[in-house]
Amino acid sequence: ERGAAWGLYLRIDRQRLQCLNERREGSGATVFRPWEERRDRSQFVESDDDEELLFNIPFTGSVKLKGVIVMGEDDGTHPAEMRLFRNIPHMSFDDTAKEPEQTFSLSRDPLGELEYPTKIARFSNVSHLSMHFPKNFGAETTKIFYIGLKGEWTEAHRHEVTICNYEASANPADHKLEQITPQTHFIS
C-alpha cells in the first residue's frame, strides 16, 4: 500500500531525463523504479569525476511533489546533501549556484525508508524537477541505488494558439443582400 504513493516514476518523461556526471551512460534513469524494486542493488548510478550528481527530471504533466526517498550504501558514497530546484529545464552545474527551492541534509539510508517531506507550497505545480547532490559522506564518488518521488500528477493542459480577426465596424460590402422588391397585397 505504501508503494502506491511512490508512483511518480511512471510520470517521468524518460526520453528527456538527464543525469549529469554519471559514470555509466543512462544509469541515472535506472534509479527511478517501482517501490518494490528499491532494494535491487544491481541498478545504480555512480558519479564520475567527483562526488556531484545532477538529475534533470521532466514530467509528462504537472506534479505536486510531497516527498523524496534517496537510498545509497551505508558508507561514504551515500549522498550527504540534496538540493531541489523546480521548473528549470536543462539545468547545468553552473546553474546550481542559484538558491534552491529546498535543501536537505541526508542521513545514510541503505534500506530506502527515510522520507524527506517537501514544502508542498513550493512544489505544487512542477513540470520539471532538478535534484542536485553536491556532496557525500567523504568518498571520492557518490552512489545512489534508488530515488523515490511521492506526490500527485495531473495531465498537462496544452493551450493552442487561436488566431481571430474582429471587425471594429461592419463593412457593408461583406454583407450583400438579394435585391428586395416591394410587393403590394390587396385584401378585398
Q: What is the pLDDT at residue 165?
A: 64
Is pLDDT of 1 > 60? no
Instruction: In whole angstroms, give the CA distance from residue 130 to residue 55.
Output: 5
Residues, the chain, total? Answer: 188
Give me the sign of the Cα torsion angle 77, 5, 33, 132.
negative
pLDDT of residue 7: 87
Per-residue pLDDT band for 161 (boundaries 50, 70, 90) equals: low
- Is 60 exceeded by the pLDDT of residue 140? yes
What band does 182 get if pLDDT is binned at 50, 70 and 90?
low
Average pLDDT over residues 149-168: 74
> 2, 38 in Cβ contact below 8 A?
no
Residue entry with cell 505544487: 124
Report how far residue 147's alpha carbon sits from residue 169's, in angstroms, rounded to the nearest whole number: 61
- Quote the pLDDT of residue 12: 95
pLDDT tens-place string over residues 4-49: 788 899 999 999 999 999 999 999 999 999 999 999 999 999 999 8
Q: What pLDDT does residue 187 have?
A: 76
Domains and CATH numbers, the chain: 8-153 (2.60.120.470)
Q: How far is CA 95 from CA 45, 58, 72, 172, in A?
A: 21, 17, 25, 59
Cα–Cα distance, 54 to 6 (Å, whole number): 21
pLDDT digits (tens, 9 = 90+) for 54-92: 999 999 999 999 999 999 999 999 999 999 999 999 999
Instruction: Name the more confident of 6 and 165.
Output: 6
Q: 94 versus 185: which is more confidently predicted?
A: 94
Alpha-carbon distances of 157 from 32, 62, 98, 127, 153, rounded to whole Å: 25, 9, 29, 11, 12
As to burial, measured by CB atoms within 10 angstroms (0-12 exposed, 13-18 middle, 19+ buried), residue 16 is middle
- H or E stretch covering 127: strand 126-133
pLDDT digits (tens, 9 = 90+) for 86-137: 999 999 999 999 999 999 999 999 999 999 999 999 999 999 999 999 999 9
What is the biggest distance separating any 2 CA atoms in the chain, rounded to whole angstroms? 113
